[in-house]
Structure 1
Amino acid sequence: MNPATIASDAPTRLSLRIHPRDNVAVALTDLPAGREVAVANLRFPLADSVRAKHKFALSDLAPGDEVTMYGVTVGRATRMIPRGGAITTDNLAHATAGGDARPGSRDWTPPDVSRFAQATFDGFHRPDGSVGTANVWLVIPLVFCENRNIEVLRQCVADALGDDPYRDYKRMARGLLDGIEATADAPDEGTPSRRFPNVDGVRFLTHSLGCGGTDDDAEALCQLLAGYVCHPNVAGATVLSLGCQKAQIRMLKAAVAARDPQGLKRVDYFDQQSSPSEERLIRDALTSIFDGLASADRVTRQPAALDKLVLGLECGGSDGFSGLSANPLVGAVVDRLVALGGSGMLSEFPELCGVEHELTARCVSETVAARFAELMSAYQRHAAAVGADFSMNPSPGNIRDGLITDAMKSAGAAKKGGDAPVVDVLDYTEPHRRPGLSLLCTPGNDVESTTALAGSGANLILFTTGLGTPTGNPVAPVLKIASNSALAQRMQDIIDFDAGPIVRGERDIDELAEALLALCLEVASGRHVTQAQRLSQHDFIPWKRGVSL
């Protein structure tokens, strides 16, 4: 779907109450004070001006009254709010309330998936039985001291293959330096022929960890890197070590062996302090990369069943429409994939604060529910230890666009997980284990969370946004879904799919969910390149636990 062809967000309705139990509604356009609105069976004038995406009260609220959205408590009034009054940070505080949290107490009726009953995607079949949606060779450092050598390798490989992803920007820079503004009509130096047509490229990771932290930090890094090395989208890896750092080669080897006990994945390790020279280190690493590319190129795409597809679910730069359009749309896609035997992973634990009881009720067993409660509590303790709290999660951009409290943000963010049962709960770096919907403990930080999703085995990531964010991932394609058409038009170079017609009432979620799932299969088959892939957005940030929300 080309965002440029979508109409602007001129809503056919002025406001929307999401759930019958809600005592606030969302303005779908800027509404002046005194404007009469009709919500459900109510008709009244607004007491305040309410900006698009922000909320207003449907009844008088006294100090201490609960404010409800999505049928759950998202805050508590701190002072009197009249009917039609705007909900702001000045009159609402973060608050949550429990509910029926018995595991298995939520019924689920799978959606109709007859259209996709025979569907497949063309993926890269790995010896361990997993299937990749991409085929890359990975180059990683065990410690930040090797970042410079990683950059040397990056530039050498790009030059040798004639595959510089930034050649257009470099041409632009040369033109500007010469006083000639580069335009789309400027002569193009051409796209080099691909020497390895079955390989999607070499991915070079850098990070700031590996030494100078705790033993737990080093172990977590090795577990994360092992997840990338063993990822179904990765053909193999070249690993650079300095030698004296905390994150030792033996630790990474052990983490890889736990995921790949038969040693099916090729991994080449190089230790600089054991090498006779830097030149020899670079030569050996380049030899490993080019040999790895030749080997990876011998694997071709073949049809795969949808039970091999694992969707990572992420949101970033959310706005007041995200929970109305893009997030429930992604949830509808996940429900369809789960019904077809596939999997989804819902991340960002700070953005599940306030809806824990809803997710607990969807857990398939007491064991799964207990793991969720345990990890949520541990995360909150880690955050408290550094003076943070989940209530601090909404960013200034979120608040400016109507997401006033963490619970309000969470209620909309959790919609990405659809309604399917929760079959598993994973701690950070733990690999995906069971088909169905899993919860993955990550921070709300966009890049840390997408990094973790890929590390746990997501082979395609759906990323919703209302404000726009250029995040991508080195190994897993990232598909961006805009919550509103204005964003889809304004940032066409980063948006892949527009959920704005849902807000305008022009198309329903079920209709767009089938279109988005079909696009997912095109991306998984390599027939559609996402904007993040096209722009070479290969973001990678490991999480230092307890520091990040």
Structure 2
Amino acid sequence: MLDEKISRSLVMLDSFDNVAVARVPISAGTSLKCPEGEFSAADSIPAGHKIAVISIAKGASVYKYGQIIGQATADIAPGEHVHSHNLAMVEVHADYAPCSQIPEPPTPIEDKTFQGYVRGNDKVGTRNYLAVISTVNCSASVAKFIAQRFPAEELAKYPNVDGVIAMKHEAGCGMQFGSDAHHTLNRLMAGIANHPNVGGFLLVGLGCETGAMGYLLQQQNLIQIEGVSGPNGPGPLVLSMQDEGGTLKTVEAGIAQVAQMLPQVNAIERQTVSARHLSVGLECGGSDGNSGVTANPALGIASDRIVACGGTAILSETSEVYGAEHLLTRRAVSPEVAAKLIERIDWWKNYVAMFGAQLDNNPSPGNKAGGLTTIAEKSLGAVAKAGSTALVDVYRYAEPVTAKGLVFMDTPGYDPASVTGMVAGGANVVCFTTGRGSCFGCKPTPSIKIATNTPMYERMSADMDVNAGTVLEGESIVSAGERIFDEILEVASGKKTKSEQQGIGDEEFVPWLVGPTL
């Protein structure tokens, strides 16, 4: 847990730190006080930004969260603003020390429940959608046209159905058959078809693509998407535009198929289930200097509660744990789990180097405007979402997540692609923290938006579900985390998130596919 010492103007996160975070905007000349002494602000400091609390010599390490976030590029006096003009990322060779700090399992929580849709294989959904899955971009419009035929008013007679959604994307062909990209896309589509929040599905393809449809044709209609079976037989329910006779005929056939399936999907009703069936994706986007102070550590408390219930918490965004991965390897339950994470970090270093890029380029202009300077600083705050339990496994992008406890999934830091991977892996709820104000939803999984600061929460209240900015006003991290956990249970039971109320989530299915487009 973070050592929180909150004063009227400053937040000290660890007694070892030589910077503090401005809780509110601070004017130059303001008298300040912290455990290190009294001083005056030499500059105007925006809320969420860092201020030096002691003298920091040029070349010395700058500490936040008790960890190195970079190196001073100039002498810094107490009260000076610490940001891109005097702080830079350095290569930090942290001791991974695998398995050296494995925490004790949390005290079990056995009395928490939610109202969910019980599926086969011990899966439970928090929503009940019918998905029209495009196997290739060439059939994306057809999938959309089919889904559009079933608006909310048309579905009023099916009260247990949350909607008919088109899962469309830009890929599916122009890739090496059998390549990583090919298998990844198939995993994604399989994950959606088998998702606990999907009560029925229809695959729609062109017919000649490299991806799922092409494989189906080459395998003489054998099941190609691993683990997927259709509602009316051993193989998946598939429509090929070329076989059906083109766009209009395929749309007509798809509408008929969906209409036939809707009564079956509607027949499933919510029932009381244990919270061990929660699989929660953890995401942060549009982060600011308060993300690692309020929302992320509060979400970490909620993550610990999920694990204590016997559920799963999925940390993600490999490019945003870089610089903080040692905090996870030390909590890994085995050397093998730690090695999986290290291998993914090394892969990313090599991957970005191929394009002349660096992982430290990750903080966006918005992140920096919010007070984040280096990727190490951003990552240390992001990892707080993972709480304090042991890391039990590491998954490739969009792999089915089967372990209970805290796990990690290799995803990019780009929010739509990252969340798409976790949803394909089985996340039935997503918790998304934001400081700048990201507006996001991701059908078929509800996305709970958690604000890091009160001004943004009030300005964007139509998009934000939980305000963690109250931590800066005196609420404890534990209390805020408990509020988030309660919100997760309510949303899992059917409470609509702000993004769901606005109909957001149809356009955010964004597969991350690595490899050449041929």
* Interval of TM-score (by shorter of Structure 1 and Structure 2): over 0.9
State the Cα deviation string for residues 491-521 of structure 1 (Å, max 9, x = none): 111111110110122x111122222211211
**1:151: how far off?**
2.6
Distance (Å, rounded) in 1 between the aligned partners of 2:11 and 2:39: 14
Mapping of residues 359-398 of structure 1, within 5 Å:
359-398=328-367
Question: Are 2:200 and 1:236 equivalent residues in the alignment?
Answer: yes
Q: Which position in structure 2 is the counterpart of 1:106? A: 101
2:125 maps to which of 129, 132, 148: 132
Cα RMSD (Å) of the superposition?
Answer: 2.2
Q: Which position in structure 2 is the counterpart of 1:46? A: 41
Question: Are 2:495 and 1:531 equivalent residues in the alignment?
Answer: no
1:98–1:357: 8 Å Cα contact kept in structure 2? no
Question: Are 2:267 and 1:276 equivalent residues in the alignment?
Answer: no
Name which of structure 1's ranges 116-125 and 70-79 shifts more when overlaid on structure 2: 116-125
Q: Percent identical across equivalent pairs?
A: 36
Name which of structure 1's ranges 220-229 and 328-337 shifts more when overlaid on structure 2: 220-229
Q: Do the aligned partners of residues 334 and 237 (structure 1) sit closer, same or farther apart at CA in structure 2, a change above 3 Å counting?
A: same
Q: Which position in structure 2 is the counterpart of 1:248? A: 212
* TM-score (norm: length of structure 1): 0.87
Name which of structure 1's ranges 273-282 and 530-539 shifts more when overlaid on structure 2: 273-282
Q: Which position in structure 1 is the counterpart of 2:375? A: 406
1:119 maps to which of 103, 109, 112: 112
Q: Which position in structure 2 is the counterpart of 1:301? A: 270
Find the residue that maps to 1:256 and give its secondary structure. Answer: coil
1:201 maps to which of 143, 160, 163: 163
Distance (Å, rounded) in 2 between the aligned partners of 1:459 and 1:376: 26
1:309–1:459: 8 Å Cα contact kept in structure 2? yes
**1:129: how far off?**
1.5
State the Cα deviation string for residues 312-343 of structure 1 (Å, max 9, x = none): 00011111111100000100000111112111
1:119–1:305: 8 Å Cα contact kept in structure 2? yes
Question: Are 2:10 and 1:19 equivalent residues in the alignment?
Answer: no
Distance (Å, rounded) in 2 between the aligned partners of 1:99 and 1:148: 49
**1:399: how far off?**
0.2
Q: Do the aligned partners of residues 52 and 203 (structure 1) sit closer, same or farther apart at CA in structure 2, a change above 3 Å counting?
A: same
Mapping of residues 52-71 of structure 1, within 5 Å:
52-71=47-66
1:223–1:255: 8 Å Cα contact kept in structure 2? no
2:79 maps to which of 81, 84, 93: 84
The residue type paired with residue 209 of structure 1 is: A
1:154–1:204: 8 Å Cα contact kept in structure 2? yes
Mapping of residues 332-351 of structure 1, within 5 Å:
332-351=301-320
The residue type paired with residue 268 of structure 1 is: L
Point out which structure has higher relative CO (alpha carbons under 8 A, 6+ apart): 1
Distance (Å, rounded) in 1 between the aligned partners of 2:189 and 2:288: 32
**1:546: how far off?**
7.5
Q: Do the aligned partners of residues 245 and 63 (structure 1) sit closer, same or farther apart at CA in structure 2, a change above 3 Å counting?
A: same
Q: Which position in structure 2 is the counterpart of 1:7? A: none
Distance (Å, rounded) in 2 between the aligned partners of 1:388 and 1:262: 46
Find the residue that maps to 1:194 and give its secondary structure. Answer: helix
Q: Which position in structure 2 is the counterpart of 1:144? A: 137
Q: Do the aligned partners of residues 87 and 493 (structure 1) sit closer, same or farther apart at CA in structure 2, a change above 3 Å counting?
A: same
Gaps of 5+ in 1: 1-10, 164-192
* TM-score (norm: length of structure 2): 0.92
Find the residue that maps to 2:70 and give its secondary structure. Answer: strand
Instruction: Figure out how many residues of one structure are paired with residues of the other and give that number.
Output: 502
